Amino acid sequence: MSVSESTLSPDHDVRTIGLVSGAHGISHFYQLVLPPLFPILHFEEGYSFTELGLLIAIFYLVSGVVQPLAGFLVDRIGPRSVLYFGIALASLACSAYALADNLNAFIVLVIVAGVGNGVFHPADYTVLSHNVSERRVGKGFSFHAFGGYIGYAIAPVVMVTLASLFGWRGALLAAGFVGFAFLVLLISTGHRLVQVGTDTAGATPRAMKDHAALLLSPVVIGCFLFFCVAAMAQIGLQTFAPSALLKLFEIEITVSNIGVTVFLVAVTIGILSGGVLADRTQRHHLVTVLCLIPPAAMTLLPAWFDLSPLSLWIVFAIIGFFFGLLIPSRDMLVRAAAPRHSSGKVFGVVYSGLDVGSALTPIAFGWFLDHALAHWVFLGAAICFVAGIGAIALSRLNITIASNA
């Protein structure tokens, strides 16, 4: 999948991984610029939480629709220009949030932001697949995922701090400038990236038939479903676990939120460890399946047992570590399923599953809490982990066919 090993120096790999991981961090940062400001927007500007939640749902819906389309564009013109466009659009939307004075304006801007966000995965993963040497690509995927989680981690702190200094409008304006600054850096150094050959087949009937056969193959559908249920499990736990634990056992929000923090820290440690593992094995499907078993089992415990704070944190740490450990191998599975001139399409379709899962989670898990079924937050997450094993099994049905297409 990558270019000749002899043409890629370690410095080139490090630079490429760093730039793309930074871009991924920017995209994840922009996904969370609004939620930390929700209390301010609610109490000071009068927006209801239902309206604010609608903005997030629209964002992920648009992003999920755009990702496959962006994948086709990546295969036609290459990932660099598409990545530049995504960062510019996301940065512009973030800055423009500062000018919004009604819900309709916010809706338009989250649509723009969703379009920008939708290009990152197909562009990022295509760059990494074709610009990093084979022996380091697993680590490249791990640092890419790590960059995304860093973006998630710093967004709440940065946005709340900026809002306290400059108000919510000033905070969003400043956050938008960060993306533009990174875009300048990326453009000034990104020309060194090896450009992927274009999809010369175009939109002929035969080409469209081949594209449809690939994107509807069990390997692509299986990977898409895996991303969907994995996102539901993760978002469900990190978003709804504190409320569920409060309802089930009256566990203090502070204790359960520490558990969520432990979960996210453990995920990042697992991701970095998983990158090393992914470079040392070709059995990525087995690694992914084995890493799903501990989270599926451990997630059941908080549903039925009133755990002590320390026990709860240990459970969250185990869930997070093994979930993070599988992420680089998960990405290697998708890479193996993506033919060279169709990598953008495959990455776009598969990773749109993250947005679909993220959009479905508030509906399903919120319904559990509203109907006195708090234990189903954990049971639902466990079911999603188990469903992930089934999705990986589906993706194995014709992985050799897809890999050789």
Averaged pLDDT, 231-259? 90
Q: What is the pLDDT of residues 306-337, one digit of tens each?
A: 999 999 999 999 999 999 999 999 999 999 88
Q: What pLDDT is attached to residue 398?
A: 58
Helix (H, G, I), strand (E, B) or coil at 128: helix
Q: What pLDDT is attached to residue 201?
A: 53
Please check whether residue 303 is in contact with residue 240, taking contact to mean a CB–CB distance below 8 angstroms: no
Q: What CATH architecture is 205-403?
A: Up-down Bundle (1.20)
Distance CA 7, CA 341 (A): 20
Averaged pLDDT, 32-53? 88
DSSP result, 347-395: HHHHHHHHHHHHHHHHHHHHHHHHTT-THHHHHHHHHHHHHHHHHHHHH
Averaged pLDDT, 383-394? 96
**Lookup: tokens for 128:** 């990494």
Distance CA 96, CA 164 (A): 19
Mean pLDDT of the chain: 90
Calculated CA dihedral for residues 212, 215, 219, 223, nearest 10 degrees: -160
**Lookup: tokens for 361:** 């989670």
Residue 206 has pLDDT above 90, yes or no: no
Q: What is the band of 403 on the pLDDT scale with cuts at 50, 70, 90?
A: very low
Closest CA to 356 of 121, 126, 148: 121
- Spell out the domain ranges in the chain: 8-190, 205-403
Distance CA 114, CA 71 (A): 15
Higher pLDDT, 298 or 192: 298
Same fold, 8-190 and 205-403: yes
Closest CA to 19 of 70, 108, 83: 83
Q: What pLDDT is attached to residue 405?
A: 44
**Which single residue is written with the structure tokens 């871009």?**
23
**Lookup: tokens for 200:** 């010369």
Q: What is the pLDDT of residues 140-165, one digit of tens each?
A: 999 999 999 999 888 888 998 999 99
- CATH dotted code for 8-190: 1.20.1250.20
